[in-house]
Amino acid sequence: MAVRSAATEGPLVLLGRSAGGWVAHAVAERLESEGAVPAAVVLVDTYPPGHGDRGQALSAMTSDMLRRAAEFASAGPDRLTAMAGYFKLFSGWKPAPLACPTLYIRARDPLPGAEPAPDWSLPHAEVVVDGDHFTMLEEHARTTALAIHQWLRADPV
């Protein structure tokens, strides 16, 4: 309901990062089933649910999140709690193809000890940006935002 309410103000673009991309995709599926097709979906370094390398990727992400939490006082354990909740909520979920265009933003650099995110198997455009899973939205946030903005300005709809 909150997303539908926000959509009354103009074209709706759903964006999700990491496992949050699953939420964005699932919300788009739901909206499309109700006849409210979003303008686009943007998945930022989102690993496909159930990919075979999940344990290795999660270990690398968890290690980096814990390191960052110790380094920056403002970071809290809610990120890990949210990730665990996503895995439970989306257990067995398979994303369906969307009618709206999808952009997959891939980090150029893998996290230490992990492979790059596997390909998103559903139709999408793809852009590779500087950084890894975390730095693409930290020191490389401007480059990532510009890539998304340029794709949206190109009118993918």
Choice among 57, 114, 133, 147 that is catalytic:
133
Average pLDDT, the chain: 81
- Tell me whether residue 19 is one of the annotated catalytic residues: yes
Q: Is the pLDDT of residue 60 over 60?
A: no
* 22 contacts 95 by C-beta, under 8 angstroms: yes
- Tell me whether residue 18 is one of the annotated catalytic residues: yes
Choice among 19, 26, 28, 57 that is catalytic:
19
> pLDDT by residue (tens digit) across 7-59?
777 778 999 998 889 999 999 999 999 888 899 999 999 888 765 444 545 56
> pLDDT by residue (tens digit) across 106-141?
999 988 777 777 788 899 999 999 999 889 999 999
CA distance 78 to 66: 11
Nearest to 101 by CA among 13, 2, 8: 13
Choice among 18, 26, 64, 132 that is catalytic:
18
Q: What is the DSSP letter of 72?
A: -
Its pTM surpasses 0.75? yes
Choice among 24, 28, 45, 60 that is catalytic:
45
Distances (CA, A) of 55 to 26, 51, 60, 61, 64: 23, 9, 9, 10, 14
